[in-house]
Structure 1
Amino acid sequence: MSHVEHLKELHGLPTFDFPGPGARHELPEAGTVAWRLAVDPYDDDSEEDFGALWDRFLDSVDPVGVRAVIVGQWGEPYDNDSSGIVQRLVDARDRLGALRAVFIGDLEMEEAEISWIEQSDVTPVLEAYPLLEEFGIRGGTGLRFPAVRHKHLRTLCFEAGGLPGEVVRGVAASELPALKYLEMWLGVEEYGGDATVADLAPVLSAGRFPALRHLGLRNSEIQDEIAAAVAGAPVVAQLRSLDLSLGVLTDEGATALLGGQPLTHLTWLDLRHNFVTDPVSQRVRAALEPSGVEVDLSEPGEAWEDDGVVHRFTAVAE
């Protein structure tokens, strides 16, 4: 199955695709939907670029009431990075006073492989919107996230086939006292995912994000190492849910989790897309499900061997 799909909602609001020029469509109230803005560079029937679309959006709705914005395709993804999108959001900060959620890069595989999405330094959005509560990014190529301070951000999500270690270190060094939900798709080194367990150390400590209740360290080729680090991580005691899915978790990582600190206080443990054998899967369930933990071990991966080398793949790479 594809794990890279268009968002169906953001900030608890259903997605609404802002219509193209000339389309007859009654627009909803500004604050009742998450506005998805995208242009198709291959549409011969429309010459509107993203800048024109953005201006038309701000002139067509009541921007004061807009609460959530989803940015989809803004042009040829491998020729145009997201810096122009970031700048437009920054420039509109006085008009979008109620904006609480932003997602940049809502492209599916049919539009662009996740590694083709060219990002940039996205932190000016956080600086421009001090009341922002949710921020999501898809695509790790060119992505930068130097350490920031933000009092109100509650949800931070990075979806990537390869998340740069520099980004992980920037997140780990940030001051986000309200952060409750953190999700990072770490990916593979071939596509820029060079983060290490050491880079995650501040996140796994107990003091960096005191409000954190959900931690997702997903889609990693070092999932076993991450599981071993999580098994003894002080932050786990404050979590309500833990997501180590989409990577190459094997019996080694699952056994490390079982041998570490208690996980019975969790409501949900997501280990989807794994390479854990049935006997170890049964041990995980037996250890946690009687305590009410919902354990997801679905979507088992298929490893293959070539010249004595076992190959396993993350769910999302290119």
Structure 2
Amino acid sequence: MSGPVRIGVLGCADIALRRMLPAFGASPDLELAAVASRDPARAGQAAERFGCRPVQGYAELLRADDVQAVYVPLPAALHAPWVEAALDAGKHVLAEKPLTTDPESTERLLDLAAKRGLALMENVMFVHHPRHEAVRRLVAEGRIGELRSFRAEFAIPPLAGDDIRYSAELGGGALADVGLYPLRAALHFLGHELDVVGARLVRRGGREVETAGAALLATPDGVTAHLTFGMEHAYASRYELWGSEGRITVDRAFTPPADLVPVIGLHRGDGTQEIRLEPADQVAATVAAFVDAVHEGSAPRADTLRQAALLDDVRRGSA
């Protein structure tokens, strides 16, 4: 494939308009071709704003010969059918997280993408920020001794009452929306052998989905991961790695703005060191990773598949 990847967008979700479409437009390796909506007025407004053409209906966009890839920011319950339709149409896919609402569908779609030689990537952006690789290096260098435990929290303030994340029918709930972040961070640092020891999902205010939760996971050699999440809280976005000789702390861990100076706290018996890194745009880094996956005709599947299984185990463990 030569030249920029021409991408279309299925829907006018807030995250698409606020974060992803500006990043597509800023990428030298992508060309935003079209935005589709069931509402022609919404498609027209988004297309005019971002300099592309409007399309009425998602299926119509998938029929476009000049679109090589699609971004799917639809509600979680709609991901599986539209991701499958996009792959069947020969399009590479970047889909919002969670990729699907169950591990079986996730595996089936990853298999389909591999069979067709197409990229299928879940839009978990924080893993592309270089700060987390710097944390991994500190742990590997033994700067906190032997790792004993991991702790992570991600919570956001209450949403508008009609927000789709409060809808069970659309695949909402705190676990998939915000709990995915600390769980993926645990997977990122502790590896695929993590298992769920226990979990509790909490439903408040008469909601039809869980609004908060917590989970305890562990590796075979006894390193524990304590995860807390919610969407009716004071904001928190952080994690901590605790070792035999010190701790590493990271605040504003999961959704940092591009101009933030990332800080890693290294806490040892002889004091605390603040390690400051250069600002990095994790949205742009994610777009670049997707372009690479498109050119390669594949994308890493192991983390996405294990994450889907662990999310399911947390839900089952809370039942």
TM-score, normalised with respect to structure 2: 0.35
TM-score with structure 1 length normalisation?
Answer: 0.35
Q: Which has the higher strand share?
A: 2
